[in-house]
């Protein structure tokens, strides 16, 4: 299925969870510093493993970086 991840189309297997997507994006589930929103709603870390993504969803994955 196709998702939009950080503004770009991305092919992932059907049934991919947010947790699996985060690993694909090199985000450590254990580490602090990153968070995700699915279709404009924040997905708490505690739900990453159970949250199965659906085709067409928009996922934004943010991380802390340098900034004023």
What is the CA 2 to chain-centroid distance, rounded?
A: 13
**Binding of other proteins at residue 61 (CB under 8 A)?**
yes
Q: Interacting stretch for other proteins, rule CB under 8 A, among 10-18, 21-29, 50-58?
A: 21-29
CA distance 64 to 41: 18
Element (H, E) at 23: helix 18-24
Query: Of 13 and 67, which CB lies nearer to other proteins in the complex structure?
Result: 67
Q: What residue has token string 């589930």?
A: 29
Q: Interacting stretch for other proteins, rule CB under 8 A, among 9-17, 22-30, 50-58?
A: 22-30
How many chain residues bind other proteins (CB under 8 A)? 24
């Amino acid at each position: 299925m196709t998702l939009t991840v950080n503004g770009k189309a991305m092919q992932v297997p059907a049934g991919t969870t947010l947790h699996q997507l985060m690993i694909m994006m090199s985000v450590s589930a254990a580490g602090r510093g990153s968070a995700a929103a699915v279709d404009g709603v924040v997905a708490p870390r505690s739900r990453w493993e159970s949250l199965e993504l659906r085709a067409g969803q928009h996922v934004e994955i943010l991380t802390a970086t340098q900034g004023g």
